[in-house]
Structure 1
Amino acid sequence: MMLAAPNWLRAQSADLVLCDRLAADPADPDKPADVKGVGEVAAADVATAIKFCKVASGASRRALYQLGRAYAAKGQMPEAIAAWRKASDKGSTSAMVELGVLYATGSGVARDEVEARKLFERAARAGNPRGVTNLAALGGGAASTDPVRARELLAKAAETNAEAQYQLGLMLADGTGGPKDDAGARALFEKAAAQNHPGALERMGAFAQEGRGGPKDSAAAKAYYQRAAALGDEDAKKALKRLECPIVIGDKHGNAVTNLCF
């Protein structure tokens, strides 16, 4: 005989569903695959997101992180920081990254690059690609991030995460932190593109257009660019324009004036 879930558990699940719908981060590794997420919590949704995420946060570190996002969207940074601290203590790597950004920039907290680095490193070791890329962004002298180590961390995260696949693909394509590997980069971009990652779609367009790391395919390149452009990627939009208008007309000084389109 199947037992029905207690009323409080069903309510908790409903609150989390609504919290996810309004405040989930598309790049959060904790986010289930069937949850789309939102780039930013919409102003009209902030109060509702806070309400449902606050209830759901009692049993979900993801909801705690999302509660912080909702508070931040409302400009209530002390509340956002408190939520992210709790989520970070429970293992939310996305909360670690957000706190690291605040410490790195001195936003809402005293600027502390050492603490920022610790948070980014914790997130990176757990496989969060933003942790890796933010470590690299800190840079600077003896504290500069080791690109070889960055590759290793991204390789772990790239087993399951589209953003990590894209970031590692960029490193392989540029030969950063190890040998240049166009075929390997293309394979990673293809994996991330299959998950509708805009940057990876744009890179797949470029690689297919140039025949880099695999066969040259102009039709596939255009299709990749179109998908990336539809998701808002500016580089893909420019690439499509170049495909449609390939001949550049310049002035007597060699400056581009216009393009001829077909």
Structure 2
Amino acid sequence: MTAAVASMEQEQDLARGELHNPSNGAGETDLELPFDAPPAAEDVELIRSAKELYKAHNYEECVAVLRRGGASGIPAAHTLLGECFAQGKGVKQDWASAAKCYRVGAMLGDPLGAFRLAACLQRDKGGTERNDKEALEWYQKAGAAGVTEALFRAGVICVDGKDLVSAMKLFLTAARNGHKGSAYNVAVLFQQISAVDKNAEAESVKWFMRSADRGSSRALNALGRISQRRGNMPAAVEFWQKAAQKGNAKAMQNLAICYLKGEGVEANAVEAVRLFRNAAELGNIPSQYNLSVCLLKGIGVEVPDAPEALLWLQKSAEEGDPEGCLLYGNILRRGESGAIKDEKLAHEYISKAAALGNKAAQAALLHLEH
């Protein structure tokens, strides 16, 4: 059996954020919830009262106050009432009612109502059919009124629609207002054109740095890759350490390989395995494969652990890792490492690896079938 650790990973995709779901955290997002947002001056007293009731978990009375505010034509009251419907606070959870409240708030000029309505339209939520065109319009209105996250979401829609010029403008505006996801996306877009514009590389680094300064682990990981490309491995390690401390699994994977190979840092196989394990537990597929290889070969551990290695290897194979599919298939074909020999299943995994573009698997498949 032969196997080698997988290569390093980079952040290739644009940051997309997470469409609003009041019941979930939003990861690396810059969005403030409506109850944390300042109301219009004339609505201060009622909205302040609603906030206090909400924070005291007196949701039913909060809803009653917001209904009175809505009846009085206060735009933010409609939006916040929609939030109560969305979260099921003081009323039965009802996304259709939430969307209706958001729409009223938006039509009355509440920026956060416009934002929430756009999110419903983008998610096909609350009885609203998915409509990216209308969502874009409401995001732009919210963005023009100061909701920076709306500019970011509008930019993502433009990217999906292949309108990169508009996307760049929106991301730049949001980034200049402190939005880390937008700063990251500006950097990615500049990076994509750096092959034809040498000045774009410097702009890309500048915006990655701004995004990293605002706490983006993805930007830190990207800066590590840039440092690696430039041959500055100590700097790469430093960026990846910072990103790993923020829970970025790709950075953990990259840092683990540095420790394994002694690149930019003193070799430490035990630390490499620890990082592979942490990343694997976070769902990083290459790390699941790499951890399995280390456990099979006894790298960074006191003794080889084939049973645990096979569990991680199978997981990586099931998740579609080409190297994982090939290695797991070969182990099944030969009945190695305590695995029960199963030529049929082995062929399936090797075929899967070949279909995923693994050259060694393609060659092995030709040998097995002839």
* Same fold (TM > 0.5): yes
Matching residue within 142, 153, 164 for 2:251: 164
2:193 matched residue in structure 1: 106
1:150 matched residue in structure 2: 236
Structure (1 or 2) with the larger CA radius of gyration:
2
Structure 1 letter corresponding to 2:173: K
Q: Percent identity?
A: 21
* Cα deviation 1:10-34 (Å, max 9, x = unaligned): 2348547648868xxxxxxxxxxxx
Over the aligned positions, Cα root-mean-square deviation in angstroms equals 3.6
Cα distance in structure 1, aligned partners of 2:134 and 2:165: 19
* Cα deviation 1:97-149 (Å, max 9, x = unaligned): 32223223327x965221112112233444534434433544699xx363222
Cα distance in structure 1, aligned partners of 2:139 and 2:334: 50
Structure 2, gaps ≥5 residues long: 1-52, 67-76, 84-101, 103-112, 125-129, 336-362
Structure 1 letter corresponding to 2:310: K
Equivalent position SS for 1:112? helix
Alignment of 1:40-119 (within 5 A): 47=133, 50=136, 54=140, 61-106=148-193, 111-119=199-207
Matching residue within 253, 270, 283 for 1:183: 270
* Cα deviation 1:62-116 (Å, max 9, x = unaligned): 5543432221111111221122113322433333232223223327x96522111
Number of residue pairs aligned between Structure 1 and Structure 2: 229
Cα distance in structure 2, aligned partners of 1:234 and 1:83: 37
Is residue 8 from structure 1 mapped to residue 94 from structure 2 by the alignment?
no
1:202 matched residue in structure 2: 289
Cα distance in structure 1, aligned partners of 2:154 and 2:309: 40
Q: Is the 8 A contact 1:135 1:145 kept in 2?
A: no
* Cα deviation 1:160-208 (Å, max 9, x = unaligned): 3223222222222222211111111211121121121222222222222
TM-score, normalised on structure 2? 0.52
**Larger relative contact order, structure 1 or 2 (CA cutoff 8 Å, min sep 6):** 2
Cα distance in structure 2, aligned partners of 1:244 and 1:82: 53
Cα separation, partners in 2 of 1:71 and 1:207, compared to 1, 3 Å: same
Q: Is the 8 A contact 2:227 2:233 kept in 1?
A: no
Cα distance in structure 2, aligned partners of 1:190 and 1:157: 16
Structure 1, gaps ≥5 residues long: 23-43, 248-254
Cα separation, partners in 2 of 1:231 and 1:145, compared to 1, 3 Å: same
Cα distance in structure 2, aligned partners of 1:226 and 1:20: 36
1:27 matched residue in structure 2: none
Cα distance in structure 1, aligned partners of 2:162 and 2:221: 26
